[in-house]
Amino acid sequence: MRKRLRHQRWSALGVASLAGVLGLSVAAVTPSIANASATKAKASTKSDTIYLSDAWVGNSWRAQALSSWTQAAKEAERSHLLSSAPEVTANNSLATQASQLQSLILKHPAAIAIDAASETALNGAIAKACAAGIVVVAYDSNVSAPCAYKLENNFVQFGVLGAEQIAQQLHGKGNVLEVGGIAGNPIDQQVHQGWNEVLKRYPGIKVVSYVYGQSVEATAQSAVASVLPSLPQVKGVLGLGDVGLGIYNAFKDAGRPIPLTTFGNSSPELGLWSKLSKQKGGYSSIAIDTMPGESTAAMWLALYILSGHKVPKVIPMPFLTIKQSSLSKWLAKTPSGGFASISFNENFVVSLAKAAQEHKAPPAIPVPA
């Protein structure tokens, strides 16, 4: 899936909560939340440096993730929760990211948060970092290095959530078009698996075509437009990424009835869904995606580990799932051209780690007030 910030809704709470964990005065950090609960400190992190290694910043999701990291890191620096949190980006080059990791190891930071260009190809560099005593936290893109801590997205579940919504809204009957991501990509394969797991329980639903939209609106529109002339009436579309608008335009341009479609969490996607839902007969759908704010979860997790706490190596991350009932609230909080997201705080990261330790599902992302 192609990756995509929002304002830091809970960043102040994250600073205060972690201040308590690290034994700092909460009142001195954020007086308005002086009563926030916190865990007793085990070690100070105020002299620590945490680097962000990003494979690329080639789209708005990635740019927002970087912006989220920068803002949260500045707040933590001002509150003396860490020394610095620089970022390095690899311009979508695996070789460059591997070389950058080698350079970072020589700087010996306390931790490295990484959005990796490959699940396996960086394992050697990650292992060297771990051997040097550097905490490595992977987010957004999975890595298989055993020593790394992983904030992991379950993309099979992503597929299950979308397919279940479509199947139920269609009452188990009708033709469905599937618009996947990138051919051969593990995420595309996992999402497709989730779709299949659900649809096989609905014999009245027939998948009439599968095209690759590469999680890009224009590409998805072109791919759907190319197959529409050969397809019977389509009642539902399962999409991977922010391709709902492209799918809508393809059907509209072809003069075909607009099918029920799953959406991503960008403001244009949510805006289209809101518009469709106000038409006669309504349009009850679902939006599912990862969040740019996951970068901040990686930072808080690294700080929590560095403060002396033990957490599982793999911590499942919740998707931001927007339903019809919460659409208006999320849309109101999503900046124009941006993505619905939260900026994680240390309390929420601790709850994620606890859920993983107890083999429970991760807590849901709270709906904005």
**Residues with Cβ within 8 Å of residue 77, at least 6 apart in sequence:** 83, 84, 85
Average pLDDT over every residue of 234-259: 96
Give the 3-state secondary structure of residue 278.
Answer: coil
Average pLDDT over every residue of 350-358: 96
Q: Read off the tokens for 138.
A: 């992977």
Q: In the prediction, which pLDDT does 30 show? A: 24
Average pLDDT over every residue of 1-7: 34
Domains and CATH numbers, the chain: 11-153+291-318+339-357 (3.40.50.2300), 155-289 (3.40.50.2300)
State the Cα–Cα distance between residues 226 and 246, nearest whole angstrom: 13
Q: In the prediction, which pLDDT does 186 show? A: 82
Q: In the prediction, which pLDDT does 151 show? A: 97
State the Cα–Cα distance between residues 101 and 122, nearest whole angstrom: 9
Give the 3-state secondary structure of residue 96.
Answer: helix
Q: In the prediction, which pLDDT does 84 show? A: 96
Q: In the prediction, which pLDDT does 70 show? A: 95
Q: Is residue 267 within 8 Å of residue 248, measured between CB atoms?
A: no
Q: In the prediction, which pLDDT does 5 show? A: 28
Q: How many CB atoms lie within 10 A of CB 108?
A: 11
Give per-residue burial for 136-153: e unless 16+ CB within 10 Å, then b: bbbbbbbbebebbbbbbb
Q: State how far Cα 276 lies from the chain centre.
A: 25
State the Cα–Cα distance between residues 71 and 64, nearest whole angstrom: 10
pLDDT for 82 beyond 50: yes
Q: In the prediction, which pLDDT does 282 show? A: 85
278-305: pLDDT as tens digits: 988 889 999 999 999 999 999 999 999 9
State the Cα–Cα distance between residues 180 and 187, nearest whole angstrom: 10
Q: In the prediction, which pLDDT does 42 show? A: 62
208-232: pLDDT as tens digits: 999 999 888 999 999 999 999 999 9
pLDDT level of residue 235 (50, 70, 90 thresholds): very high
Query: How far apart, in Å, are the Cα atoms of 118 and each of 149, 187, 248, 292?
Result: 16, 12, 32, 18
Pairing of strands 149-153, 135-138: parallel
Give per-residue burial for 278-300: e unless 16+ CB within 10 Å, then b: eeeeebbbbbbbbbbbbbbbbbb
Q: In the prediction, which pLDDT does 369 show? A: 86
156-210: pLDDT as tens digits: 999 999 999 999 999 999 999 999 998 888 889 999 999 999 999 999 999 999 9
Burial of 325 (0-12, 13-18, 19+ CB in 10 A): exposed
Average pLDDT over every residue of 131-148: 95
pLDDT for 275 beyond 50: yes
**Residues with Cβ within 8 Å of residue 40, at least 6 apart in sequence:** 21, 23
pLDDT level of residue 274 (50, 70, 90 thresholds): very high
pLDDT level of residue 4 (50, 70, 90 thresholds): very low
pLDDT level of residue 149 (50, 70, 90 thresholds): very high
Helix 94-107 and helix 123-131: axis angle, to 10°?
Answer: 10
**Higher-confidence position of 114 and 38:** 114
10-22: pLDDT as tens digits: 222 233 333 333 3
Range in 91-95, 128-132, 232-236 with the lowest mean pLDDT? 91-95
Q: In the prediction, which pLDDT does 155 show? A: 93
**Higher-confidence position of 139 and 41:** 139
Mean pLDDT of the chain: 87
With residues binned 3-state (H G I as helix, E B as strand, rest as coil), the percentages for the chain, rounded to 5, are 45, 15, 40
